A and B are shown apart, each in its own frame.
Chain A
Amino acid sequence: QVQLQESGPGLVKPSETLSLTCAVSGFALSRSYYWGWIRQPPGKGLEWIGTIHHSGTTFYNPSLKSRVTMSVDASKNQFSLNLSSVTAADTALYYCARLSGSDYSGFNYWGQGTLASVSS
């Protein structure tokens, strides 16, 4: 059973970098698939942040591209998200998820989400 678990600081100051990690269990991340981050501001809809292939190739939302970096740590079976220069608009519930197949597929496994708040 594939499981994903997000972790992060919870509170980040404006202009700093938000760093989140998604630990994967039940599947070796290095084997295959695309892995992604999606966020949901309080009371709002879902926004795709980016996707990383098991090979390390990354794809980012154009609106966030200048501030986003994603990476894979195969030895720990986890992948990470760094979002720089955060503002209050980046306050959201951040989910990690796995695409079920190609880059055109849906996300069939999700973490429970981790809330990241931006405040001084």
Chain B
Amino acid sequence: QSVLTQPPSVSGAPGQRVTISCTGSSSNIGAGYDVHWYQQLPGTAPKLLIYANNNRPSGVPDRFSGSRSGTSASLAITGLQAEDEADYYCQSYDSSLRQVFGGGTKLTVL
């Protein structure tokens, strides 16, 4: 049971928009700690996709965006492409547990 809750899977057709939610509590996201998102392609290490809620590292397409509100955060992907098929994880800081990750969401491009 992960401290941050994500849907196990989401799917969408090429070109569509999908969102992945990340639900926490008052000791992590709700406390105002930043949320970060990672993309993990099959057989590779996670890659930082969004940092501090809504910032993209250099090289990440602007099709990826993040938001945070209350005790939750979301990752949105627009103009879905086949290469976006991957596992996505959210991460934040928890006042008791320190670094916490979501359970991960598998994105399938139909």
Contacts and interface: CB of A to CB of B under 8 A. Distances in A.
B48 A108 contact: yes
A27 interface: no
Interface of B: 2, 33-34, 36, 38, 44-48, 51-52, 57, 89, 91, 93, 96-104
Contacts of B98: 48, 51, 59, 61, 103
User: What is the interface of chain A mostly: helix, strand, loop, or mixed?
Assistant: loop
Using C-beta atoms within 8 Å of the partner chain, give the interface range for chain A.
Answer: 20 to 34
24 contacts: A45-B103, A46-B38, A46-B46, A47-B101, A51-B98, A51-B99, A59-B98, A61-B98, A61-B99, A62-B97, A95-B46, A103-B93, A104-B33, A105-B36, A106-B34, A106-B36, A106-B51, A107-B36, A107-B38, A107-B46, A107-B48, A107-B91, A110-B45, A112-B45
